[in-house]
Amino acid sequence: MAPASYSPLIGFLQEELAIPFSSISVAMKRCEQDPGPLPMVLWQYGLVTLEQLDRIFDWLETA
């Protein structure tokens, strides 16, 4: 998923999972330095739980 297409994902993260934009911003900056999937970066930094990560991937499959 390219950074330009993150808007729907960011909306889901904030609205459905109540992840603060500050946490999302940290992960997005990390993705700029070392490209990787945003959901994985969020999890690697401890910004989402494994359960939340599963919900994110489920959402991505249907988005």
12 within domain boundaries:
no
* Chain segment 29-48, per-residue pLDDT in tens: 998 898 889 999 999 999 99
In a domain, 1, yes or no: no
> Distance of CA 31 to CAs 6, 22, 37, Å?
12, 14, 7
Structure token digits, residue 35: 């490209």
* Count of alpha carbons within 13 angstroms of residue 37, beta-carbon side: 9
Residue 27 lies in a domain: yes
The whole-number pLDDT of residue 4 equals 61
Give the number of domains in the chain: 1
**Higher-scoring residue by pLDDT: 4, 21:** 21
Structure tokens at 10: 């960011």
pLDDT in tens, 9-28: 999 999 999 999 999 999 99
Residue 35 is assigned to a structural domain of this protein? yes
Is 10 inside a domain boundary? no
Residue of 27, 26, 36 lying closest to 1 (CA atoms): 36
